[in-house]
Chain A
Amino acid sequence: MSSIASSPKHRQLGLTDFEYDRILERLGREPLEVELAMLSLMWSEHCAYKHSRRLLRRLPTQGKHVLMGPGENAGAVDVGGGLAVAFKVESHNHPSAVEPFQGAATGVGGILRDVFAVGARPIAVLDSLRFGDPDTSERSRYLLERAVAGIGHYGNSIGVPTVGGEIYFEPSYEQNCLINAMCLGLAPHERLIRSAAAGPGNVVVLLGALTGRDGIGGASVLASAELGEGDEAKRPSVQIGDPFSEKKLMECCLELLDRELLVSLQDLGAAGLTSSASEMASKGAVGLDIDVAHVPLREPGMEPFEIMISESQERMLCVVEPARVDEVLAVCERWETNPTVVGEVTASDRLRVLQDGDVVADVPVSVLVDDCPLYDLEPRAPAAPLDAVPHIGDERPKNPDETLLNLLRSANMCSRRPVWEQYDPIVGSRTVRRPDEADAAILALPDGSAIAVSIDGNGRRVACDPRAGAAEAVFECAANLAAVGASPLGLTNCLNFGNPEKPAVAWQLVEAVEGIAQACEALEVPVVGGNVSLYNESPDGAIFPTPVIGMVGKLPDAARAGRLGFAQEGDEIAIVGSFAPARAGSELAKLEGEPPVGPLPFKEVQAVRDAHGAVRDGIRAGALHSAHDIAEGGLAVALAECCIAGGIGAKVATDVDLFGEDLGSAFVVSGPRLEGLEVIGRVGGGQLEIEGRLALAVSALREARAGGLAASLG
């Protein structure tokens, strides 16, 4: 650690010598202090995507429903009726590993701002969380408890429902937990706004919270380096969230847009004013002058560089025509959002930072935004699986009854109720299915239709086979949508990986992106935005490669949205889809101590599409009373979940592998008459019986599934 203090300034700020030489070359001089601080952040992995930008070009981004693709604060798709849904998923991993409550809370706050920055009213939040083993790790229980509290604190207080999510526990996340938050927003098409600044002479107005010293250097210090010893000392780099400020800011921005008072709007996230101003200027091909002396400060004596890179939360930047400034200020006064004119749009191509008129930074916008070197990855498949170390498992032979109960009790399979009871899923009055009622969250639209949304990504299976595992996450999300009767419109992703400068991690990343791209092409679902989180490593090694997929779809009739629970005594039960269960990467293999190695089942794309289509049509027609995709834990767990959710038993006869997994391919469905399907049994009674193999009371299933997380949360 002591060597850092004596190293050159640019290295302390996370820039390599090569990158610094390029800065000298582009500027033709040494950067000033403020300029170096700004460049170090704009050229960080977090802001510049320098290890992933080329790779991301592989993802398909075109589709007939796409209104806004990657590059804006959030992507947006057309949902009919003149409405658009904007959505995005983003990580807040490293801040949460250092301070889970504020890290998770501000992760929610940040993704909400991304969505209302494009003019959409946030209507739902989902979360994808990863922690170490809660049974053995006190740290993981602490991170879980505090991160869940932080998410609830922010989402509940601001009045945006948390409608869904997922949690997995694996030892590889012990030091480096993952906190990914996704937000969806709703807007009339004409209210969608881009962030490009325009019109030299227009005024730049800063709204929202005061600027303080919190979060300084977060993007480079926390988000773009591996975790290690001394991270406690980085706590000051974690931002502090204030949902009340953001609530006012959100209502204010939406009213400004409703009144058509803004030229453009941008949130302040990583790298604060520096990033927002540079991005707005770059997209509009204009320059900006910002005078830091006008920025309202939380504490006196802040240096210009601190003001420019502060990551204080709950702030927005907008461009306003001079003639509309008074109207803008009046709306802001009503919402108490502290509006301040801090600069203006210029006809130059430069971002200039002034302090009471003195120039303290003057950099071409292109140097900040475009000139960061992009690195080609050097992927190399590892000679042996990366995570091939077996861990302690329970290998004693068991009968299927015991195995099913053990799976339902396990951390990855047990009930999430103790978590989702801490979130408000209904504020906004759009929530058609509550947590545990259906495979996807469903939000009603004014015309009687609805949107469905699902978030998924199983790192253990991606560790087995990065390409097939990542593709499977896309198929799994699409299956969740099909089970409620929705067809996909678009997806967002968050790529959580280790250090991409390591060839094996680079290989995982390249393979996973290829898998996502292929699955998107197969299902004709475009990627409309996303986020990359690299360097998720600790001294113990990298996390499981964890691409998280968030998919949005549409169903024509909200009243016919699917449910997962068996509904009616006497209904027939069938498996829909070409189900090819295998043990590799399964929860059973994990329970028994096997490492995540081995091939995942091959998916025949047309068969998957056909299965999704059949279930979707059956739900929409009302022919199916329930549909549930067969996911982790295999057929037995899927059947158990249908019984628990419905509060009714079932009796089936099948010789299918009970615990093998093949995610996203097949479904358990029920309905009064399942024509054309191979019926395996009927709904009814108080127990789940799989003839000759397994029989357990529904109450026993429920009890097994109920306890795990409640114990972990204390």
Chain B
Amino acid sequence: MKFGIVQFPGSCDDVDALGAASRVGEATLLWHAERDLKGVDAVIVPGGFSYGDYLRAGAIARFAPVMEEVAEFARAGGPVLGICNGFQVLCEAGLLPGALLPNTSLRFVFRQVELEVVDPDTPFTCACARGERLSIPVKHTTGRYYAPGPVQVVLRYARGHNPNGSQDDIAGVRNEAGNVFGLMPHPEHAVDRLTGSTDGLKIFESIREHVEHRVFA
């Protein structure tokens, strides 16, 4: 299978996501100004500070030409993963419900946190067990999730691990259809024992399982 990683000017964790995805499949970068998704099976909108995020995190990136194609891909049921800034972009683009607000500390926070898998029946968590704990780092200034109504929660911060004041300890949510998922923690930074934990690999492995199962079923 092939992952496509969107590259905006100001993306920072694009190469990290490319490396993580390459551990479980093929991976290629998708340039923001182009509309070609290169036939990928899954799209990752990575972390960073797209277009500088001076207006509001993700507010400009949603207008990028590539995002029109990503929205179309999502409407057709393609799996789309948004990490950190990518989560913010997907919320701004209306592909996910809710919004990310500034952390209650009003500061950037880097921390290794424990997550709990609330919903293992998604293309992004199917390799995990319900209630399984994942150790994955967060690093953001604008990660406090808020939604006015009920949402489909996929990951929560474990008790005592909420780093940003997120509503109901929400760390990651999906859309109604289940094929678009955004999370603030960085699974691409938890794929190698040398540089941290390997729990993030399960997110990428889940996507591969989902895609391959779907294709060959």
Q: A244-B10, A421-B110 are in contact. Are A428 and B16 (CB under 8 A)?
A: yes
Whether B132 sits at the interface, judged by CB under 8 Å, is: no
Whether A19 sits at the interface, judged by CB under 8 Å, is: no
A430 to B195, CA, bound (A): 7
Whether B204 sits at the interface, judged by CB under 8 Å, is: no
Interface positions, chain A 132-159, Cβ under 8 Å from B, are 149, 152-153, 156-159
27 A-B pairs, CB-CB below 8 angstroms? Answer: A156-B141, A157-B49, A158-B12, A159-B11, A159-B13, A159-B49, A244-B10, A244-B49, A244-B53, A245-B52, A247-B49, A248-B9, A248-B10, A335-B9, A421-B108, A421-B109, A422-B109, A423-B110, A424-B108, A425-B110, A427-B12, A429-B188, A429-B192, A444-B194, A444-B195, A558-B194, A559-B194
Whether A243 sits at the interface, judged by CB under 8 Å, is: yes
Whether A20 sits at the interface, judged by CB under 8 Å, is: no
Q: Are B49 and A426 in touch, CB under 8 angstroms? A: no
The 7 closest A-B pairs by CB, nearest first: A159-B12, A244-B52, A157-B49, A424-B139, A429-B16, A422-B108, A152-B108
A-B pairs under 8 A by CB, number: 83
A421 — which chain B residues lie within 8 A by C-beta? 108-111
How close is A208's CB to chain B, nearest CB, in angstroms?
13
Chain B residues packing against A (C-beta within 8 Å):
9-13, 15-16, 19-20, 48-49, 51-54, 107-111, 137, 139, 141, 186, 188-189, 192, 194-196
Q: Are B108 and A427 in touch, CB under 8 angstroms? A: no
Whether A420 sits at the interface, judged by CB under 8 Å, is: yes
Q: Are A422 and B9 in touch, CB under 8 angstroms? A: no
A423 — which chain B residues lie within 8 A by C-beta? 108, 110
Chain A residues packing against B (C-beta within 8 Å):
149, 152-153, 156-159, 242-245, 247-248, 335-336, 420-432, 434, 444, 558-559
When C-beta atoms are compared, the residue in chain A nearest to B11 turns out to be A159
When C-beta atoms are compared, the residue in chain A nearest to B51 turns out to be A244
B13 — which chain A residues lie within 8 A by C-beta? 159, 427
A558 — which chain B residues lie within 8 A by C-beta? 194
A421 to B53, CA, bound (A): 21
B48 — which chain A residues lie within 8 A by C-beta? 159
B109 — which chain A residues lie within 8 A by C-beta? 421-422
Q: Are A429 and B189 in touch, CB under 8 angstroms? A: yes
How close is B188's CB to chain A, nearest CB, in angstroms?
8
A420 to B186, CA, bound (A): 18
Q: Are A243 and B52 in touch, CB under 8 angstroms? A: yes
A432 — which chain B residues lie within 8 A by C-beta? 194-195
B192 — which chain A residues lie within 8 A by C-beta? 429
B15 — which chain A residues lie within 8 A by C-beta? 428-429
When C-beta atoms are compared, the residue in chain B nearest to A427 turns out to be B12
Contact partner of A426 (CB less than 8 A), chosen from B108, B137, B141, is B137
Q: Are B195 and A426 in touch, CB under 8 angstroms? A: yes
A428 to B11, CA, bound (A): 12
A153 to B49, CA, bound (A): 11
How close is A150's CB to chain B, nearest CB, in angstroms?
11
Contact partner of B49 (CB less than 8 A), chosen from A152, A243, A425, A429, is A243
A430 to B15, CA, bound (A): 12
Besides A149-B107, A247-B12, A422-B107, 11 more A-B contacts (Cβ < 8 Å) are: A156-B49, A157-B10, A243-B52, A247-B10, A248-B10, A335-B9, A420-B110, A421-B110, A426-B139, A429-B188, A559-B194
A157 to B54, CA, bound (A): 11
B196 — which chain A residues lie within 8 A by C-beta? 426, 434
Q: Are A336 and B195 in touch, CB under 8 angstroms? A: no
How close is A667's CB to chain B, nearest CB, in angstroms?
24
A420 — which chain B residues lie within 8 A by C-beta? 110
A453 to B188, CA, bound (A): 24
When C-beta atoms are compared, the residue in chain A nearest to B192 turns out to be A429
How close is B104's CB to chain A, nearest CB, in angstroms?
14
A75 to B28, CA, bound (A): 34
A156 to B10, CA, bound (A): 11
When C-beta atoms are compared, the residue in chain B nearest to A418 turns out to be B107
Most buried by A among B9, B11, B51: B9
A463 to B191, CA, bound (A): 46
A443 to B135, CA, bound (A): 21
A434 — which chain B residues lie within 8 A by C-beta? 196
Q: Are A242 and B52 in touch, CB under 8 angstroms? A: yes
A244 to B12, CA, bound (A): 10
When C-beta atoms are compared, the residue in chain A nearest to B9 turns out to be A248
Q: Are A156 and B139 in touch, CB under 8 angstroms? A: yes
How close is B73's CB to chain A, nearest CB, in angstroms?
24
How close is A344's CB to chain B, nearest CB, in angstroms?
30
Contact partner of B110 (CB less than 8 A), chosen from A245, A424, A429, is A424
How close is A283's CB to chain B, nearest CB, in angstroms?
32
How close is A706's CB to chain B, nearest CB, in angstroms?
14
A141 to B14, CA, bound (A): 36
A247 to B108, CA, bound (A): 19
Q: Are A157 and B52 in touch, CB under 8 angstroms? A: yes
Q: Are A431 and B139 in touch, CB under 8 angstroms? A: no
A159 to B195, CA, bound (A): 17
A156 to B51, CA, bound (A): 14
How close is A466's CB to chain B, nearest CB, in angstroms?
37
Q: Are A426 and B194 in touch, CB under 8 angstroms? A: no
How close is A125's CB to chain B, nearest CB, in angstroms?
13
A355 to B189, CA, bound (A): 51
How close is B53's CB to chain A, nearest CB, in angstroms?
8
A558 to B193, CA, bound (A): 11
A429 to B10, CA, bound (A): 17
When C-beta atoms are compared, the residue in chain A nearest to B186 turns out to be A426
Contact partner of B195 (CB less than 8 A), chosen from A153, A422, A424, A431, is A431
A244 to B50, CA, bound (A): 8
B19 — which chain A residues lie within 8 A by C-beta? 429
How close is A422's CB to chain B, nearest CB, in angstroms?
5
Q: Are A156 and B194 in touch, CB under 8 angstroms? A: no
A428 to B137, CA, bound (A): 14
Most buried by A among B10, B11, B192: B10
Most buried by B among A243, A247, A431, A432: A247
